[in-house]
Amino acid sequence: MHLLDPDDRHSTVDGERVCEAIAHLPDTEVLHEWVTRFALLADQTRLALLLCIHHAGEICVSDLAAATGVKDSTVSQALRLLRAHGVVTTRRDGRTIYYQ
């Protein structure tokens, strides 16, 4: 399947590979969602929190703060953003909220 524009001024080495690459690019909306998701990971604190959650499983804010050496308020703010974008979920146990 050829997806290359014959009038395109770019030279290609392997047109079939170019067409294969084009065929697997997501639409603009999906690509934007990926950009947003990767931007969330571009922050060192958020990435550290996600790594802690991934390896420790359910964990609360104070424990995440202790694990990362970041203030509770900073952890809470980062988790609020991650939760808003659907990257983490929560479970409440009394007054304690666990992130997963």
Burial 54-93 (b: 16+ CB within 10 A, else e): eeeeebbbebbbebbebeeeebeebbeebeeeebbeeeee
| φ/ψ of residue 36, rounded to 5 | -60, -45
Question: What is the pLDDT at residue 3?
Answer: 57
Whether the per-residue pLDDT at 23 is higher than 70: the answer is yes
Of 6 and 77, the structure prediction assigns the larger pLDDT to 77
Is the whole model's pTM more than 0.85, yes or no? no
Q: What is the mean pLDDT of residues 16-36?
A: 92
Q: What percent of the chain has pLDDT over 90?
A: 76
Whether the per-residue pLDDT at 62 is higher than 70: the answer is yes
Whether the per-residue pLDDT at 81 is higher than 70: the answer is yes
For each of the domains in the chain, give its residue range(s) and CATH number, in order of start.
11-42 (no CATH), 44-100 (1.10.10.10)
